Amino acid sequence: GAGVSQSPRYKVAKRGQDVALRCDPISGHVSLFWYQQALGQGPEFLTYFQNEAQLDKSGLPSDRFFAERPEGSVSTLKIQRTQQEDSAVYLCASSPTSGGFTDTQYFGPGTRLTVL
Amino acid sequence: AQSVTQLGSHVSVSEGALVLLRCNYSSSVPPYLFWYVQYPNQGLQLLLKYTSAATLVKGINGFEAEFKKSETSFHLTKPSAHMSDAAEYFCAVSGATGTASKLTFGTGTRLQVTL
């Protein structure tokens, strides 16, 4: 079956522009995560949804970052007034269950954001 | 708070040689540990996970890892490296404060396999 898909795969933005990154999770998956992966680093947690509810946004680095999942399926990560330090790969992951310690997360290929 | 440390950002082995990628964890509660692999321009793929059912965990592609509480380690091994194993490998722990399944990753180890 289809895995997690993300679009666009690559995005170049000028500093100060707003961007929107889309994630299509595996159909029927309850949990959805966003991670940020800076160059040469491991992914870092940004936010977590259980269906349409955003239960954890502790990793969002500033109020310029906003995520939503209005119908409990597709999610969008929006970054306002992008800065150079926002340049990273943004990974989306989904999981079939509602957030247990041992859940397997299925990752998408990521969106590489470059802010000039 | 839970965390993992991966020793060695780059590891190079010859094809057919043993692969050993190191991961040590820090946790105040029993940890749940994962190894993920990332191929270029692809998402992370789960290799294996420790869920406390057995200390020796077997995963895909011939990889395995052993949970050693006394050493706070969860090293990844494969008896014989193949060229297709060249990739970035990440150790991760779940159960950080807040969301139970939120993963905290190490900085990764890039595995190079030479002829």
pLDDT for res A20: 98
SS (H, E, C) chain A: CCCCEEECCEEEECCCCCEEEEEECCCCCCEEEEEEECCCCCCEEEEEEECCEEEECCCCCCCCEEEECCCCCCEEEEECCCCHHHCEEEEEEEECCCCCCCCCCEECCCEEEEEC
Whether residue B100 is predicted with pLDDT greater than 90 in this model: the reply is: no
**CB contact (8 A) between residue B100 and residue A91:** no
What's the confidence (pLDDT) of residue B75? 97
Residues in chain A within 8 Å Cβ distance of B102: 33, 45, 48, 56
Identify the bridge partners of residue B90 per DSSP, sorted by sequence position: B36
Contact A105 B43 (CB under 8 A): no
Which residues of chain A make contact with B105, given a CB cutoff of 8 A?
42-44
Residues in chain A: 116
Q: Which residue has the higher pLDDT, A99 or A49?
A: A49
Ranked by mean pLDDT, which of A7-16, B1-10, B19-28, B30-39 comes out on top? Answer: A7-16
pLDDT digits (tens, 9 = 90+) for B40-52: 888 899 999 998 8
**Residue B83 — φ and ψ, nearest 5°?**
-55, -35
Partner-chain residue, chosen from B36, B96, B99, that has the shortest CB–CB distance to A99: B99
Q: Name the residue facing A102 among B45, B51, B96 (closest C-beta).
A: B51
Neighbour count for residue A91 (Cβ, 10 Å): 25
Give the rounded distance of the alpha carbon of B47 from its chain centre.
8
pLDDT > 70: percent of chain B? 97
pLDDT band at A63 (very low <50, low <70, confident <90, very high): very high
Is residue B2 predicted with pLDDT exceeding 90?
Answer: no
For the cut 80, the answer to whether the pLDDT of residue B95 exceeds it is: no
Name residues whose C-beta falls within 8 Å of residue B10's C-beta, 6 or more positions apart in sequence.
B109, B110, B112
Contact flag B102-A55 (C-beta cutoff 8 Å): no
What residue in B sits closest to A91 (Cα-Cα)?
Answer: B43
| Average of per-residue pLDDT across A29-34 | 95
